[in-house]
Amino acid sequence: MSKEFTESTMTKMLDWGYDKAVNGVPGMNSAQELAESYMDENKTLAENANSLIRWQITKAGTSGFISGLGGIMTLPVTLPANITSVIFVQIRMIAAIAHMAGHELHNDKVKSLVYICLTGNAAKDILKGVGITVGTKLTQSAIKSISGKTIVAINQKVGFRLVTKFGEKGAVNLGKGLPLVGGIVGATFDTVTTNTIGNVARNTFMA
């Protein structure tokens, strides 16, 4: 499999996962619905986001939750179920945090920023690389100023980072021949990584 095809496949998988996260799948809340379920008026946005992140870490690896992922597993790309599932769950978490902060999830610019958060600690470097100021809340006007050319650059950088990430961990081979539950629980629900991604999303959309 060539590097170019691998990155192209990763991009297709991200777009598919985002569509499922935002528009919902049978038996699972959409990102917007997930966000609304954690909106407590007695808490700050950051506190609500932290509650959502903790839920992802404590619940996303349970067998009951994982069995609910069965409806999303008609994959458009040939990637292992464990990788596809964890990225779907993490995209939904990030998108929910973006929705909490008042961002429109059907905006392609917001979608690209969600993808950046998937890279975890590398997100800051990617944002800087495309000229986006890090450390201040992404306002609606700041997002509107992102050009189409910048979106393309962001998506390319994210695809490369994720291919490298999974390649380094050998995760691309972990799901082959494994049942869905075993593949996810045993290989991909890295709580440290999910926590990092959640924190990056909160700091990106709410800082």
Residue whose pair of structure tokens reads 């201040």 in the numeric block: 136
- Calpha distance 120→199 (Å, rounded): 8
pLDDT at 112: 92
Q: Which residues contact 102 (CB under 8 A, 6 or more apart)?
A: 140
Phi-psi group of 24: left, alpha or beta (phi > 0 → left; psi -120 to 50 → alpha; rest → beta): left
Question: What letter does residue 197 receive in the DSSP assignment?
Answer: H
pLDDT at 168: 56
DSSP assignment of 7-75 equals HHHHHHHHHHHHHHHHH-BTTB--HHHHHHHT--TTS-HHHHHHHHHHHHHHHTTSHHHHHGGGGG---
pLDDT at 5: 46
Model confidence at 192, pLDDT cuts 50, 70, 90, reads confident
Average pLDDT over residues 57-73: 58
Helix count and strand count (H, E) for the chain = 11, 0
Model confidence at 190, pLDDT cuts 50, 70, 90, reads low
pLDDT at 18: 93
pLDDT at 47: 95
Model confidence at 19, pLDDT cuts 50, 70, 90, reads very high
Model confidence at 30, pLDDT cuts 50, 70, 90, reads very high
- pLDDT for residue 155 is more than 70: yes
Average pLDDT over residues 143-172: 76
pLDDT at 165: 72
- Calpha distance 158→160 (Å, rounded): 5
Model confidence at 22, pLDDT cuts 50, 70, 90, reads very high
Model confidence at 110, pLDDT cuts 50, 70, 90, reads very high
Model confidence at 181, pLDDT cuts 50, 70, 90, reads very low
Average pLDDT over residues 1-12: 63
- Calpha distance 84→125 (Å, rounded): 25
